[in-house]
Amino acid sequence: MSGKSIVQGLMARLATSRFVRDALMKEEDPATIASKPTPRIWMGLGLIGLSYIIGWPAVGLLAWISYHLKEPLIVVAGGPVTYGLSHVVFWIGLYCAGTPYIRPLLQWAARRLVKRLEASSSEGNPPKVFATSFPKEKSGRMRSSPFAAGIRGAPSPAMIAGATAFLLAGLLLLIRPALAMIPLALFVLACMVAPFLPGFGFFLPVISRGKKEGRSVALTFDDGPDPKISPRLLELLRCHGAPATFFVTGAKAERYPELIRGILSHGHTIGNHSYHHDPLLMLRSRATLRNEIALAQDALAAYGIRPLTFRPPVGITNPKLSGVLKELGMDCVNFSCRALDFGNRRIGGLAEIILEKVRPGDIILLHDVVPRGGDGAERWIAEIERILSGLTNKEYEILPLSDLIDRSVMVHLHDSDERAAE
């Protein structure tokens, strides 16, 4: 095999790398890392410095205390914990302070490598794989996502809380070992409670409300579509000129294709609400979680759309969801105003509760499933009518969810940019 063919093969492989494509698009210069350090970098450097303080010096202090108190358990138990804690703090600090520098340097090195390979090619022109334009929709969407640069690399509140808990535990271990378990127990408690708070992005960025400028809200309907009420709901929304976003399940999208087409033909948007709507989905494995979201994406792709937003069943999140949504290029969207209707199992006073709780910028949660009881559908439609009229009377403007949160909810697969991205 000739050297020329080896170079061309290597360039073809590099062209398939998303990292190399991003490097060629951004044209960043290593000089950018000389800019003024951000608070995150200062925090990382501070944690690195702190790790050296709570390393061997702290172990030596424990040994001194153990010797004078004649209690060897202090250094036997506290020494490994303190030294291990110093390593945890060091790596967290290195992650916070180093990632802003590492990526520009690697991208600069990738561009230099590509240019050297191009120069070694006898044609003298850049290969077509590197000269091709890149999809605008895809790159633009990633920049507007909460997982995009600047937020994607930032530590989550869970990471910060965990590091703080371990740090406090290490300090308390030096002062009063019996109290060292308190911050760790509080962190475990926070990890147990936080998933049930829909508006709290503890493990990952969560969009739960929109901009507060003006009196605007967005309507969202979960768990549908339902053939018994969805057509009537669409007609009601049309009469009021109210846009909505429907977070549908993949199974129902496959079962009721005419309803999905009706939602789209009325100008509404669709989000992903998993395939089976398993209330215990966040207790399943990462593979199951990804499969549930991906199956729903495949079901909705049959209608020429790809949702960019995911609402977890019951609004519960977990640490695994962050990586899955990053991989699929999606945002997590929850809600800020709901009536606790338990999936339309309790619809009495639904309108009154919503209209009393609603505030500017709210994402309102409702459910697109038929209530129980012989007259459940009629009563629910009447409640939705009162909500729509009440919002108008209170001078609220109902915006599309994408306008309220300033982020795309879905894309059409037949768009020219989307074809290029695929």
> Which member of 222, 331, 362, 368 is catalytic?
222
Rounded Cα–Cα distance for residues 242 and 297 (Å):
26
Q: What is the DSSP string of 224-288?
A: ---TTTHHHHHHHHHHHT--EEEEE-HHHHHH-HHHHHHHHHTT-EEEE--SS--TTGGGS-HHH
> Which member of 266, 367, 368, 417 is catalytic?
367
Rounded Cα–Cα distance for residues 229 and 249 (Å):
16
Contact predicate 110/103, CB 8 Å: no
Q: What dihedral angle (degrees, nearest 10) is formed by the CA atoms of 376, 383, 345, 244?
A: 110
Residue with tokens 């790790």: 51
Rounded Cα–Cα distance for residues 296 and 254 (Å):
9
Rounded Cα–Cα distance for residues 51 and 92 (Å):
10
SS3 content of the chain, % helix, strand, coil (to 5): 60, 10, 30
The phi, psi pair for 267, rounded to 5°, reads 90, 10
How many degrees, rounded to 5, is the angle at CA 380 between CA 374 and CA 382? 115
Q: Output Rg (C-alpha) for the chain, integer angstroms.
A: 27
Contact predicate 398/405, CB 8 Å: no
Contact predicate 364/220, CB 8 Å: yes
Q: What tokens appear for 149 in the block? A: 């640069």
209 three-state secondary structure: strand
| Residue 222 annotated among the catalytic residues of the structure | yes
Rounded Cα–Cα distance for residues 421 and 131 (Å):
15
Distances (CA, A) of 73 to 64, 166, 177, 351: 12, 20, 11, 62
User: DSSP H helical segments within 135-224, as ranges?
Assistant: 136-144, 157-175, 181-193
Contact predicate 267/242, CB 8 Å: no
Rounded Cα–Cα distance for residues 388 and 397 (Å):
10
Q: Which of the residues are catalytic?
A: 222, 367
